[in-house]
A = this chain, B = another copy of it.
Amino acid sequence: MAHITSPLPADKQKIVGEALQGALIDLLDLSLVGKQAHWNLVGRNFRSLHLQLDDIVALARSSADSAAERAVALGVNPDGRAATIARDTRVQQLGYGYVEDAKVIEVFTEILGSMIARMRERIEATDDADLVTQDLLIAVTEELEKHHWMVQAQR
Q: What residues of chain A have their CB less than 8 Å away from a CB belonging to chain B?
A: 1-5, 7, 28-29, 32-33, 35-36, 39-52, 61, 64-65, 68-74, 77-83, 85-87, 89, 93-94, 96-98, 100, 113, 116-117, 120, 123, 131-132, 134-136, 138-139, 141-142, 145-146, 148-150, 152-155
Verify A141–B132 contact, CB threshold 8 A: yes
Q: How far is the CB of A62 from chain B (nearest CB, A)?
A: 12
Can you give 18 A-B contacts (C-beta < 8 A)? A2-B42, A4-B152, A7-B113, A32-B82, A33-B81, A35-B64, A36-B80, A36-B81, A45-B45, A47-B51, A77-B98, A79-B96, A81-B94, A82-B85, A82-B89, A82-B93, A86-B86, A131-B138
Residues of B within 8 A of A74 (CB): 145
Q: Which 10 A-B pairs have the closest CB atoms?
A: A86-B86, A73-B149, A46-B153, A47-B48, A2-B42, A46-B154, A82-B85, A2-B155, A82-B86, A73-B145
Q: How far is the CA of A123 from the CA of B7 in the complex (A)?
A: 14
User: If A81-B93, A145-B73, A150-B46 touch, does A98 touch B35 (CB 8 Å cutoff)?
Assistant: no
Residues of B within 8 A of A152 (CB): 2, 4-5
Verify B153–A132 contact, CB threshold 8 A: no
Verify B149–A139 contact, CB threshold 8 A: no
Q: How far is the CA of A97 from the CA of B3 in the complex (A)?
A: 10
